[in-house]
């Protein structure tokens, strides 16, 4: 179906934007999703079959983009909340010692001698700043496995550090 996207944009922009304002209750988000919806409509023209009205089609695209945005924000806020809670407890010992150059060198010596997967998990979490979820995905294990392994790595490093004092 051959479409005139400029005419489509001029005709339906405000209606799609208004629809999104009711969903998002945020002008910036509504504007961003509206722009993305028109871009998507323009780039996926072949998928429009004409079985529904153009406005209905555009609103369906906009609604799907809105739902994707909501899911992404929920996931991001859940991960950030979880990481901020974990970071507070994680920074208790080893990470603070990294600030001190001598302690940092001793930790790196201990870390260098640490067996796998503890060594890599600790490095990914502390130096790579990866979430436990992403670490679990890298190892094709669960997020909980990554947490437990990281915790065990920290304990092993602390034990070795105490032995070297």
At residue 127, the pLDDT reads: 72
Q: Is residue 85 part of a domain?
A: no
Q: Which of these ranges, 1-15, 25-39, 92-106, 111-125, has the smallest mean pLDDT?
A: 92-106
Average pLDDT over residues 87-101: 54
At residue 162, the pLDDT reads: 76
At residue 23, the pLDDT reads: 83
Residue ending a domain, choose from 20, 46, 79? 79
> Does residue 1 register a pLDDT over 50?
no
Residue 56 vs residue 49, higher pLDDT: 56
Query: What is the reported pTM?
Result: 0.46
Average pLDDT over residues 104-126: 79
The whole-angstrom separation of Cα 59 and Cα 99 is: 53
Residue 144: give its domain's CATH number: 1.10.10.10
Q: Is residue 134 part of a domain?
A: yes
> Does residue 35 register a pLDDT over 60?
yes
Residue 118 vs residue 49, higher pLDDT: 118
Residue ending a domain, choose from 79, 103, 127? 79
Residue 72: give its domain's CATH number: 1.10.1740
- Which domain does 154 fall in, by range? 91-164
At residue 32, the pLDDT reads: 92
The whole-angstrom separation of Cα 137 and Cα 146 is: 9
- If asked whether residues 115 and 155 sit together in one domain, one would say yes
Q: 5: closest CA among 39, 31, 34, 29?
A: 39
Decide if 153 contacts 121 (C-beta within 8 A): yes
Q: Is residue 84 part of a domain?
A: no
First to last CA, the chain: 76
- If asked whether residues 75 and 136 sit together in one domain, one would say no
Average pLDDT, the chain: 78
Q: How many domains does the chain have?
A: 2
- If asked whether residues 105 and 40 sit together in one domain, one would say no
- If asked whether residues 122 and 156 sit together in one domain, one would say yes
- If asked whether residues 96 and 149 sit together in one domain, one would say yes
At residue 103, the pLDDT reads: 66
């Amino acid at each position: 179906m051959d479409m005139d996207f400029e005419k489509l944009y001029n005709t339906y922009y405000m209606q799609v934007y208004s629809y999104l304002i009711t969903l998002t209750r945020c002008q910036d988000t509504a504007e961003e999703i509206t722009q993305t919806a028109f871009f998507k409509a323009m780039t996926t023209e072949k998928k429009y079959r004409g079985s529904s009205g153009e406005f209905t089609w555009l609103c369906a695209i906009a609604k799907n983009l809105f739902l994707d945005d909501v899911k992404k924000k929920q996931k991001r806020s859940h991960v950030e909340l979880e990481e901020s809670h974990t970071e507070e407890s994680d920074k208790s010992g080893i990470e603070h010692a990294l600030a001190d150059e001598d302690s940092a060198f001793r930790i790196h010596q201990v870390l260098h001698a640490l067996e796998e997967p503890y060594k890599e998990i600790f490095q990914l979490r502390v130096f790579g700043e990866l979430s436990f979820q992403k670490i679990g995905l890298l190892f094709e294990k669960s997020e909980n496995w990554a947490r437990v392994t990281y915790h065990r790595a920290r304990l092993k490093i602390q034990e070795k550090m105490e032995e070297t004092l």
